[in-house]
Amino acid sequence: MPARILVVDDQEAVRDFTRKILVRAGYEVALAGNGAEALAALGEADFDLVLMDVHMPVMSGEAATRQIRALEGPRSTIPIIAFSGDEQSLVAAGVNDHIDKPFTRAELLAKVDAWLPCEADPPSPADPPDRRPGGTAFQEVCDLMGRPWALRGLAKLQAQIDEAFAEPGSPRDAGQLAGQAHALVSLSAVLGFSTLSEQCSGLEEACRSGHGVQPAFERAKATALEVRAAAVDLIADLKIDAS
- Over residues 48-69, the pLDDT tens digits come to 999 999 889 999 999 999 999 9
Q: Tell me the per-residue pLDDT of 135-178, one tens digit each, with 9 for 90 and over.
A: 677 888 888 999 999 999 999 999 999 999 976 554 568 888 99
CATH of domain 4-115: 3.40.50.2300
> In the prediction, which pLDDT does 90 show?
79
Return the closest-CA partner of residue 104 out of 25, 17, 188: 17
- pLDDT surpasses 50 at 24: yes
Residue 170 has a pLDDT of 46
Q: Give the number of other CB atoms < 10 A from CB of residue 41.
A: 16
Percent of the chain topping pLDDT 90: 60
- The number of CA neighbours under 13 Å toward the Cβ of 1 is 5
For residue 9, what are the CA distances in angstroms to 79, 174, 188, 197, 217?
16, 21, 15, 16, 24
**pLDDT band per the 50, 70, 90 thresholds, residue 240:** confident
DSSP label at residue 117: -
Lowest mean pLDDT among 6-20, 118-132, 202-216: 118-132
Whole-number pLDDT of residue 103? 82
Report helix, strand or coil for 34.
coil
Distance, CA of 186 to CA of 52 (rounded, Å): 13
Residue 77 has what DSSP assignment?
A: G
pTM for this model (two decimals):
0.84
Output the average pLDDT for the chain: 87
Least confident of 105-119, 140-154, 216-230: 105-119
Element (H, E) at 88: helix 87-93
177 vs 84, 218, 221, CA distance in Å?
19, 13, 12
Longest dimension (CA), the chain: 56
Domain boundaries, the chain: 4-115, 136-242
230 pLDDT tier (thresholds 50, 70, 90): very high
Helical packing angle, 147-161 and 174-190, nearest 10°: 160
- The four Cα atoms 153, 155, 156, 160 give a dihedral, to 10 degrees, of 130
**Would you say 102 and 194 are in contact if contact means Cβ atoms under 8 Å apart?**
yes
Q: List the end-to-end C-alpha distance of the chain, in Å, as a whole number.
A: 42
Contact between 62 and 20 under an 8 Å Cβ cutoff? The reply is no
Residues sharing a CB contact under 8 Å with residue 173, sequence separation 6 or more, in sequence order: none
What is the per-residue pLDDT for 194?
Answer: 86
d(CA 153, CA 83): 20
Q: How confident is the model at residue 218 (pLDDT cuts 50, 70, 90)?
A: very high
